[in-house]
Amino acid sequence: MIRQARVTDVPAIGALIEHYARQGLLLPKPLGRIYEALRTFVVWEGDGRVLGCGRLDIVWEDLAEVGSLAVHESLRGRGAGTAIVEALLEEAHDLGIPRLFALTYQVRFFEKIGFQVIPKQDLPHKIWKDCLGCAKYDRCDEVAMLRVLKGVPRSATPLAPTAADFGLSGFARMPRPAPAHRMDDAGLQPVSGSRAGAAGPPPGGRRAAAGGAATPPGSPAGLARSPAGAAGASRRLPVLR
């Protein structure tokens, strides 16, 4: 029997996911994360025990992910996994979500239930947040697969930004977050090359004006154009000690 997950199911869901995470087939999911996402899970129950699970994560107006799909070894090859995915597909249909994707190693399994292999860069950039803690972050070898549901209209709303929109070719190209600032004797300073410091001076200095000479990194370019600016440039924020 497939049903919505309950709070009492969390330890069993965690054990199923951990079993396959140890084999490198699923991302590990701490119990706290499962509790937080409990409403997205369905479970397969047999003989009073939770023997399978899966979740449906809504990513965008027209896209959701099928994830954390796991069944007990005793049920493998008996249709339990297919039944869980079909229940999630039905839920997506009822919600009006026309496209579902999965990141998986079980390509043949998902092909049998209507999914097709797609380039990873076609998926929204925001789904990469779950990859930050993965041991395979820089060498992801999962396969991206997609299924389009019939009878669910596509929205005219713009799609979520994809990796291609950022000029990236796949998960392995996504840069890890870097610290934006550092503290030294002069106070809080931007870290060279950080995303947050992108508006600051590039290597070699910042151009004061079009065609002008480069000013040294850290120079208050533009401030010296007025007395007020020059005075402001000479002051430093106090350093907290």
151 φ/ψ sector (left φ>0, alpha ψ -120 to 50, else beta): left
In the CATH hierarchy, which fold is given to the domain comprising 2-173? Aminopeptidase (3.40.630)
The Cα 45–Cα 125 span in angstroms is 35
Rg (Cα) of the chain, in Å, rounded? 25
Amino acid identity, residue 39?
R
What does the pLDDT look like over 168-225, one tens digit per residue? 444 444 444 455 555 555 655 665 554 444 444 444 443 333 344 444 444 443 333 3
pTM: 0.62
What does the pLDDT look like over 61-115, one tens digit per residue? 899 999 999 999 988 888 999 999 999 999 999 999 999 999 999 999 999 999 9
The Cα 237–Cα 66 span in angstroms is 50
Residue-range domain boundaries for the chain:
2-173
The Cα 182–Cα 191 span in angstroms is 6
Note the Cα 59 to chain centre separation in Å.
Answer: 9
Alpha helices, H only, the chain = 10-21, 31-36, 80-95, 107-112, 227-234
